[in-house]
Chains A and B, each alone.
Chain A
Amino acid sequence: MSQNPKLEDVPGVRRLGGEAVFQSPWEARSFAMALSLAGEGRYGWEEFRARLIAEINRQGQAEARQAYYESWLKAFERLLADKGLLSPGELESKVAELAAAAPPRGAHGHGGNS
């Protein structure tokens, strides 16, 4: 694995202390959403933490590779459902709606794979 000696100099990469804080934008949004709703008083931060711990434990040793923010997102979704802020099936419907609206990926792709 190559080492980047001056990570701070790499443009467009957000780093503090030498490595990316979030591996991808969805991690950052998930993080911020959980904080934001707690800040609004929709639930206590400790309620979120309890669910995060539960999700991390749920994955078990075999799935230790599950990304941390997957657990975070699942914990957040469960908490929203428990608080009545997210109805069953609501998220899946919205995912389908956005997927249908999005332009097809790869059909006019940049990659050149056919």
Chain B
Amino acid sequence: MSNQHRNAPAPDLSLRVKALEAILVEKGLLDPQTLDLLIDAYENKVGPRNGARVVARAWVDPAYKDRLLSDATAAIAELGYGGLEGAYMRVVENTPTVHNLVVCTLCSCYPWPVLGLPPVWYKSAPYRSRAVSDPRGVLREFGLELGPEVEIRVWDSSAEQRYMVLPERPGGTAHLSEEQLAALVTRDSMIGVAKVKAPATR
């Protein structure tokens, strides 16, 4: 499922979008430089490295973790992250017996300030429906096999609530700095389709 977005070529809507932009600029509704800044922000600045820092902080600082689990929006803001699509955050914690998975069944609600924009597969119809109806199967397709003793909780995002998963800290990482821990945390682990792997042993 994860790499199927290239099955059919998307239509080239370049001309249509250029035309629309031209109209809106002519009407004074749009500044092309604003567009450039927005695109730059979401291509280069706002992304899962933010969430990874939140996760690493929670792993090393139990008091921060408590704050993160009780008021995620405020705790995330402590690290300087917030804004559009991140106003109502909740962080859900993975444990050895509970695994969390995040979806938006209706569209693509996703916590932009900590994860950036969602991947194509997250927005796809198969993921949006199967995450709820067959989460174990979805995880299996992502290469994550969970034992029957693990409860899977699926969180359906909406305008009113955004979710981020706090993945389990892998074993063998006690010696790592917070920055090194953050480098281990993947976008997929914060959506819930993967776990964080310890660095490969030599």
Binding site for B on A (CB under 8 A): 1, 14, 16-19, 21-26, 28-33, 35-37, 39-40, 42, 45-46, 49, 52-53, 56, 61, 64-65, 67-70, 73, 76-77, 80, 85-86, 90-91, 94-95, 97-99, 102
Contact = CB atoms under 8 A, between A and B. Distances in A.
Given A33-B20, A42-B29, A91-B20, A16 B48 contact: yes
Contact of B107 (A33, A52, A86, A98): A52
B8 interface: yes
B42 interface: yes
Contacts of A97: 19
B201 interface: no
Contacts of B23: 86, 90-91, 94
Contacts of A67: 10-11
Interface string B109-128: 10000011101100111100
23 contacts: A1-B3, A16-B46, A16-B48, A22-B43, A24-B12, A24-B14, A26-B13, A26-B14, A28-B43, A32-B35, A37-B24, A40-B29, A49-B159, A53-B106, A53-B107, A61-B125, A67-B10, A70-B13, A73-B17, A80-B24, A91-B16, A91-B20, A91-B23
B14 A36 contact: no
Interface of B: 3, 5-8, 10-24, 27, 29-31, 34-36, 38-39, 42-44, 46-49, 84, 106-109, 115-117, 119-120, 123-126, 159, 186-187
A73 B3 CA distance: 23
- Chain B CB count within 10 A is highest, among A73, A76, A85, A94, for A94
B187 A18 contact: yes
A6 to B, nearest CB: 14
Contact of A31 (B39, B115, B120): B39
B34 A29 contact: no
A24 B30 CA distance: 20
Contacts, number: 138
A15 to B, nearest CB: 8
Contacts of A98: 15, 18-19, 22
Contacts of A31: 38-39, 42, 117
A87 B159 CA distance: 29
B27 to A, nearest CB: 7
